[in-house]
Amino acid sequence: MGMQSSSVVVEKEKRLRDKDEKRRVRAEMDDEDRQVVMEKQNHGILDGWKAHMGRAMRMTHRSQRGFDPNCEGYKMNERHGDIFNDNETADSGKGSELQLFSFNVVVAVTKNFSESNMIGKGGFGLVYKGQLPNGQEVAVKRLSMNSGQGIDEFKTEVTLIAKLQHKNLVRLLGCCISGEEKILIYEYLSNKGLDSFIFDQTRSITLDWRKRFNIIVGIARGILYLHEDSRLRIIHRDLKASNILLDDDMNPKISDFGMARIFGGNQTQANTNRVVGTYGYMSPEYAMDGLFSIKSDVFSFGVILLEIISGRRNSYYSDRRSMNLIGHVWELWKGDRILELIDSSMNISTSKGEVLRCIQVGLLCVQEKAIDRPNMSSVIYMLSDERIMPSPKQPAFSFWKENCSDHPQSSTNWIDGCSRNEITITELEARY
């Protein structure tokens, strides 16, 4: 007993010395060294994710059919449910515990993916409302097997959302993988997507200007966190009204990180031959050349801002010159008729200056050249400051080409100058 006790003490002392040495090394690292370590840790996270998913699949295969509240995968606080260890905590400073659910549990909480429980659908699958046995309501995102979102996108969404913590980002509670099934479990937000309010004539009445302005600022803060304030620099790449969810107090939360990309160090832009996103929200340099940066998200934010103010989608417009909402806004701006844009359900008599400032910020965000667009810290500053702002230049994707006589129907027409909104692109070869 004495020898065993002594060996335990020696082992504990060794672990403490190792921890002290790690702290000393971290303190002496410069920014470049820290970035290298961070990138290695990110790769380690994905490797750890694979191991955990493998264990989850084995547990699911071993579990009996039918719902059993004591089955493996439901014990949410056990260590096998944690993707990140204590050294990989979220930005909030708290441990980022991601729970692994067995497929049996997911089937039970969604009532076998009942159609009556379905609350949304998108390019990557269906979303169901569910309730855990402890009474907590959840949103269950079941990825379609032919959706185009593969294991890489799934891992991206899991690792990013679990690691990032901000009041304007949707909270991921857990995930499930079983054979071909890939499922994400989120906090449930009763008000659903922003699009279900601003584009609905009845529900939009409940959004006065103050609520809309708070939503605009909340979205901006969430994007700023992704771009500048988190430990990782994240480019979302699919910001749109339907990916902005609203809680009970109408606070916005950014969701759907399946197409997000991590930038490291001083990296400011990247190029891809796989263009993913949604027509109407994609910046020109991304849609045409596969080039994306934080300014791509800024462009998308500008579109959302103009949609919130107008209550209209950035889609086909019937007037002769404007091809979409952006072009329509530009025509009104140049003609000194911009007040015609504002959703008629709003009373802005006491906030006219604030509304006009927001429209100008929106136009600055959708300018054709990425270098002309502000970053998100500047956007937030301009939204809250009454100083003179720069005049916007002509926005991108604003007007019809002379030979574009048909309504926009295909991606080919859109690339040449025509657009249709709310079509998610899962893969598109970029032009060089």
141 is in an annotated binding site: yes
214 burial type by CB count under 10 A (0-12 exposed, 13-18 middle, 19+ buried) = middle
Residue type, 344: S
SS3 211: helix
Q: How far apart are CA 305 and CA 342, in angstroms?
A: 12
List the structure tokens of 332: 């009104």
To 10 degrees, the CA torsion angle through 416, 417, 421, 424? 20
Strands (E), 256-406: 261-263, 269-271, 277-278, 291-293
Is 238 noted as a catalytic residue in this protein? yes
* Contact status, residue 184 vs residue 256, Cβ threshold 8 Å: no
Q: How far apart are CA 118 and CA 110, in angstroms?
A: 9
Cβ contacts of 54 within 8 Å, gap of 6 or more: none
List the structure tokens of 204: 């939009």
The DSSP symbol for 408 reads: P
Pairing verdict, β 99-100 and 172-178 = parallel
Catalytic hit among 195, 200, 229, 238? 238
Cβ contacts of 403 within 8 Å, gap of 6 or more: none
Cβ contacts of 255 within 8 Å, gap of 6 or more: 169, 170, 186, 243, 244, 245
Q: Which residues are annotated as a binding site for ATP?
A: 141
Residues annotated as catalytic are 238
Q: Which residues are annotated as a binding site?
A: 141
